[in-house]
């Protein structure tokens, strides 16, 4: 039995070694820049009113009954608007537990969205100055 296991390992080890050596490096990694803040858009679904919200990194802003904290806004160098993404923490006023915490992407707002019956918030772009 040990001889059979040794034979199988000896036979398959070159295959595993070949598979590991054939890893293609990621050459498409983009350089990321950090913006000074972000421009968000808030939507009140009941009144159908939108409001653009400017916020700086590390600060909070109030939108209706929501408190929005911006951790950081990042973007690929050379494209601060289309591919921006921001780390947001959103709480309801008076409640310590966040209703949203994570990265929101400007190019795909539905990918990781705020789940609230009345309000939507999404990232438009990073502020570069």
Q: pLDDT of 42-81, one tens digit each?
A: 999 999 999 999 999 999 999 999 999 999 999 998 776 6
Per-residue pLDDT band at 108 (split at 50, 70, 90): confident
More confident residue, 44 or 128: 44
Query: What is the three-state SS of 33-89?
Result: EECCEEEEEEEECCCCEEEEEEEECCCEEEECCEEEEEEEEEEECCCCCCCCEEEEE
What pTM was computed for the model? 0.74
Task: Residue 51: give the domain boundaries.
Answer: 32-127
In a domain, 82, yes or no: yes
Of 23-27, 37-41, 49-53, 60-64, give the lowest mean pLDDT range. 23-27
Contact between 87 and 71 under an 8 Å Cβ cutoff? The reply is: yes
In a domain, 45, yes or no: yes
Q: Measure Cα distances from 17 to 6, 7, 25 in Å.
A: 16, 16, 17
Interatomic CA distance for residues 129 and 123, integer angstroms:
17
In a domain, 23, yes or no: no
Residue 18: the pLDDT is 47
CA angle at 76 for the pair 82 and 87, rounded to the nearest 5°: 80
In a domain, 4, yes or no: no
Of 51-55, 75-79, 85-89, 90-94, give the lowest mean pLDDT range. 75-79
Give me the chain's average pLDDT, please. Answer: 84
In a domain, 120, yes or no: yes
**Beta bridge pairs of residue 32:** 76
In a domain, 26, yes or no: no
In a domain, 44, yes or no: yes
Name the DSSP letter for residue 110.
Answer: T
More confident residue, 12 or 45: 45
Q: Tally the domains of the chain.
A: 1
In a domain, 83, yes or no: yes
Residue 81: the pLDDT is 65
């Amino acid at each position: 039995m040990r001889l059979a296991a040794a034979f199988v390992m000896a036979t398959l080890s070159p295959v595993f070694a070949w598979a590991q050596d054939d890893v293609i490096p990621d050459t498409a990694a983009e350089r990321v820049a950090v913006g000074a803040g972000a421009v968000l858009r808030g939507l009140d679904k009941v009144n159908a009113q939108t409001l653009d919200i400017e916020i700086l990194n590390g600060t909070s802003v109030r939108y209706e009954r929501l408190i929005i904290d911006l951790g950081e806004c990042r973007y690929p160098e050379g494209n601060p608007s289309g591919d921006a993404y921001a780390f947001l923490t959103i709480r309801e006023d008076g409640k310590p537990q966040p209703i949203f915490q994570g990265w929101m992407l400007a190019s795909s707002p539905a990918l990781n969205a705020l789940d609230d019956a009345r309000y939507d918030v999404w990232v438009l772009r990073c502020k570069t100055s």
